[in-house]
Amino acid sequence: MTYKPDLSPDTEGLQALVIQPDPYCPIDRLGPWLHDEGITTRTIQPFKGEVIPDSIQQDALVVLGGDMSSLDDHVYPWLSDIRRVVADAASRRKPTLGICLGAQLMAQTFGGTVTKGDRGLEAGVAQISWRAEAAQDQLMAGLPDPFFAGAMHRDMISQLPASAVWLGVTAQYPYQAFRVGEMSWGVQFHPELSPAVYRQWLTLINQTDVVTKERARSGMKAFENQDRIVREHTEALARRFAYLVRITATVAAK
C-alpha cells in the first residue's frame, strides 16, 4: 500500500510525540510511514534520562514497547510518567497508539490490569481476529481480517478497563486491541516491527526455558516467511492512524 499523501495547508507541520522505553524497541517501520504522511516525530527516551512531559503539546502520541514489565515501577519510576501523559492525551483527544508495553500501560492508566502471561511467550507473527466492535472503530474498521503483525510479549492484559471497547483477539491471548474513549488505542502486537529488529530481539533473549526459546526462534522463521503480508497489513494500520491524526488536527484548528 503506497500512495502520495493528501496533505493540505491545515495539516502542515504535524508532529507525533514518541516515547521509547527501551533502547532495543525503536519506532522502526512506523517512523517512515508517519513521515510519508506528513507527520514528523519527536522521540523521548526515558532510559537515557530524558524527561517525559506532564502534558502533550504535539498532535499525537505513540508509546512503544520494551523488555521491562509495566509492573516494574520500582525499577523504572518513569513508567508512571508515561501513564500520566497517556491520560493527558486522552483528555485532549490527541490520537494515541500504545504498542505492546505501551498498550499495557494504557490499560493500567484507565483501570485495567496486567499480569504475567498465563500462556507463555507470544512471538513471531500474531494472527489477529477482529471482533464485531472493530467494524465501527475509526482505526480498525476495514483492515484485513485476519490481520497479521509481529509479536513478542510475556506479560498480558488480564482485564481491560471498564470503559474500553474490545476490538481484537488471537488464539493465545484475548486482549490484542482495544480503544478507550474516542482516540486512544492499545495493541498488544507490534505494528511497527520489521524482521531486522525482531532478529536483534532474538539475540537478546536470556531464557533457560526451552519452550520460550523455541517459540522465539520459530517466530523468526514465521516472520521472514510472512513479512510481505505483515508489512502490507501493518502499513495499512499506520497510514490509517496518520489519517486520523491529520483529520483530528484539522478539526481542532477550526
pLDDT digits (tens, 9 = 90+) for 51-86: 999 999 999 999 999 999 999 999 999 999 999 999
Q: Catalytic one among 122, 192, 233, 235? A: 192
The answer as to whether 228 is a domain residue is yes
**In a domain? residue 115:** yes
pLDDT for 208: 72
Instruction: Check if 190 is active-site.
Output: yes
Number of compact structural domains in the chain: 1
The pLDDT, as a whole number, for residue 5 is 41
pLDDT tens profile 164-219: 999 999 999 999 999 999 999 999 999 999 999 999 999 988 767 888 889 999 99
Residue 2 lies in a domain: no
What is the percent of the chain where pLDDT is above 90? 89
Domain limits for position 75:
9-253
Options 100, 153, 233, 235, the catalytic residue = 100
16: CATH: 3.40.50.880
Cα separations (Å) of 133 from 49, 96, 97, 169, 199? 39, 19, 18, 12, 34
Specify the pTM.
Answer: 0.94
Let me know if residue 235 belongs to a domain. yes
Options 37, 122, 190, 233, the catalytic residue: 190
Q: Does the pLDDT of residue 137 top 90, yes or no?
A: yes
Q: Work out the mean pLDDT of the chain and round it to a whole number.
A: 94
Q: Is residue 65 part of a domain?
A: yes
User: Is residue 249 situated within a structural domain?
Assistant: yes
Is 35 among the catalytic positions?
A: no
In this prediction, residue 1 carries a pLDDT of 36
Residue with cell 514497547: 65
Q: What is the pLDDT of residues 110-127, one digit of tens each?
A: 999 999 999 999 999 999
124: in domain: yes
74 among known catalytic residues: no
Residue 1 lies in a domain: no
Q: Looking at 61-65, 129-133, 141-145, 213-217, which range is the least confident one? A: 213-217
Q: In the prediction, which pLDDT does 206 show?
A: 78
